[in-house]
Amino acid sequence: MTSVNNPLPRQEISGPATARHSSRLAGRLDAAADKSCSHRAAILAGLAGGVSHIEGMLESEDVLAALRAVEALGARVERTGPGQWTIEGGKWRDPDEPLDMGNSGTAARLLLGAASRFSLTAVFVGDASLSRRPMERVLAPLKAMGAMTGAAQGGRLPVRLTGGNLIAIDYTPPVASAQVKSAVMFAALGARGQTVVREPVPTRNHTENMLPLFGGNVSVEADPAGHVITVPGGQSLTACDLAIPGDPSSAAFAVAAGLIAPESELTVAGVMTNPARFGLYDVLKEMGAHLEFTPAGSRCGETLCDITVRTSQLKGVDVTALRAPSMIDEYPILAVLAAFAEGETRMRGLGELRAKESDRLSSTAALLDANGVKVEIEGDDLIVTGVGLAGVPGGGRVETRDDHRLAMAGLVLGLGAQAPVSVDETAMIATSYPGFFDDFSAIGANID
């Protein structure tokens, strides 16, 4: 990637870290750019004819992996300033080397779909965590469309993909996954015929929302049986300029810190309010959180708000399985907040957490257990017994298992706990939230 005149700031932080009890967290943070929207912007700009300008791109390791792959597949990719990227897209070709997806499930699955519409062969590889995660969920529909794939045992990376000459399918994904939906939608753009994706439980809809900005044609019918997304084949996209909204999943960490650290009041500005991503905030309101949402305009068709949070004594709640897709990445931090609530919180239907960067059902339970919090897994449910704002012992060492959200959730727990909490590794925080340590230092959190 041409970034000689605009080098990326180096992410120096790695190794263990310790969070200590902190109070009076305060200040105003700009929300980190949204990871899901950044991935889609990089890929759609890479597919579109002409030059797209993207403002406020998330420059995290996951998104950089997608940008490098888009370039290796034939697009011209240039960083023109902090968060500013120019991408000239078009027809994709065989990359010279395997495409390294790093730690990113979204990059791997969306790019497998996007690449499969072209007559090319590419090999996709990833780090140890990503190489344990299931890829068959995207390979199956892509094979049904005519792509040829070879995967490591159990449908894992490395995956070799040969695309081109695809035909449309009518597909109901067996798991609620925006990544699977988006992979099929990207492939559908180049297929013969009209592809239909049926989602019994709707997942984040950023691909549906962003595709029309690039001149793409997609229709969504919402009815009580779910969403039906139709993508005509044979489409060409055209370049566009867009700005990335703030990430509700990253914002959740500072909001959580503001809820549990005594005498705190802080604002996270510019957070996307898309209901398919806002489930955590709805649940927090039910738990009694003092949250204020102030409208803050829109970016690329997504509305934004500033979230102001004050320290709050939360109460335990029952979170239904239907909510899971709208807050799927937020369960580690919700489980931490549940420990500081009064009473039991039961989070239902979390089977999909087993397919994330770590098995997040067991790693979240282990995080709490190591810090003196009573937690159980019953089937696909996680049950946390809260002990109130001042009652969480802490003092544990969290095993992060290559999982950025575990590392951030563990550190937030330490800000409210009685004894310091350490996490064994922090390098992977840069996969989604490279500004985490700067932001937490700016609000006065005691982390070193």
Ligand X SMILES: O=C(O)C1=C[C@@H](OP(=O)(O)O)[C@@H](O)[C@H](O)C1
Structure token pair of residue 61: 């390791």
- For ligand X, the binding residue among 127, 199, 306, 329 (CB under 6 A) is 329
Between residues 62 and 302, which has the closer beta carbon with respect to ligand PEP?
62
Structure token pair of residue 356: 């994330």
Q: Does residue 204 bind ligand X (CB under 6 A)?
A: yes
**Residue 299 labelled as part of a binding site:** no
Q: What minimum distance in Å lies between the beta carbon of 427 and ligand PEP?
A: 15
Query: What span, in angstroms and rounded, lies between the C-alpha atoms of 373 and 376?
Result: 10
Query: Is residue 249 classed as helix, strand or coil in its secondary structure?
Result: helix
Between residues 26 and 140, which has the closer beta carbon with respect to ligand PEP?
140
Structure token pair of residue 93: 């070709």
Q: Does residue 405 bind ligand PEP (CB under 6 A)?
A: yes
> By CB neighbour count within 10 A (0-12 exposed, 13-18 middle, 19+ buried), where does 297 fall?
exposed
**Residue 348 labelled as part of a binding site:** no
Residue numbers 340-359 binding ligand PEP by CB under 6 A: 356-357
String of contacts with ligand PEP for each residue 270-309, x by CB under 6 A: ----------------------------------------
Neighbours of 152 (CB within 10 A): 13
Query: Could you tell me how many residues of this chain bind ligand PEP (CB under 6 A)?
Result: 9
From the list 100-108, 218-226, 301-309, 367-375, the region that binds ligand PEP by CB under 6 A is: 100-108
Angle in degrees, 0-180, between the axes of helices 61-72 and 35-47, rounded to the nearest 10: 10
Q: Does residue 432 bind ligand PEP (CB under 6 A)?
A: yes
String of contacts with ligand X for each residue 36-55, x by CB under 6 A: x--x----------------
Catalytic residue among 329, 402, 403, 439: 329
Q: What, of ligand PEP, ligand X, none, does residue 173 touch, CB below 5 to 8 Å by kind? A: none
Angle in degrees, 0-180, between the axes of helices 35-47 and 105-115, rounded to the nearest 10: 20
Query: What span, in angstroms and rounded, lies between the C-alpha atoms of 135 and 228?
Result: 23
> By CB neighbour count within 10 A (0-12 exposed, 13-18 middle, 19+ buried), where does 397 fall?
middle
Is 329 known to be catalytic? yes
Neighbours of 425 (CB within 10 A): 19
Contact 178, 210 (CB under 8 A): no
Between residues 261 and 408, which has the closer beta carbon with respect to ligand X?
408
String of contacts with ligand X for each residue 138-177, x by CB under 6 A: ---------------------------------------x
**Residue 179 labelled as part of a binding site:** yes
Instruction: Report CA torsion sign: 327, 332, 333, 339.
Output: positive
Structure token pair of residue 217: 């044609």
Q: Does residue 203 bind ligand PEP (CB under 6 A)?
A: no
Q: What is the DSSP letter of 201?
A: S
Contact 39, 107 (CB under 8 A): yes
Q: Are strands 302-310 and 26-30 parallel, antiparallel or unpaired?
A: unpaired
Contact 55, 38 (CB under 8 A): no
Q: Does residue 60 bind ligand X (CB under 6 A)?
A: no
Residue numbers 103-122 binding ligand X by CB under 6 A: 105-106
The catalytic residues are 329
Instruction: List contacts with ligand PEP (CB under 6 A).
Output: 62, 104-106, 329, 356-357, 405, 432
Instruction: List contacts with ligand X (CB under 6 A).
Output: 36, 39, 105-106, 177-179, 182, 204, 328-329, 352
Write out the binding residues for 3-phosphoshikimate: 35-36, 40, 177, 179, 329, 356
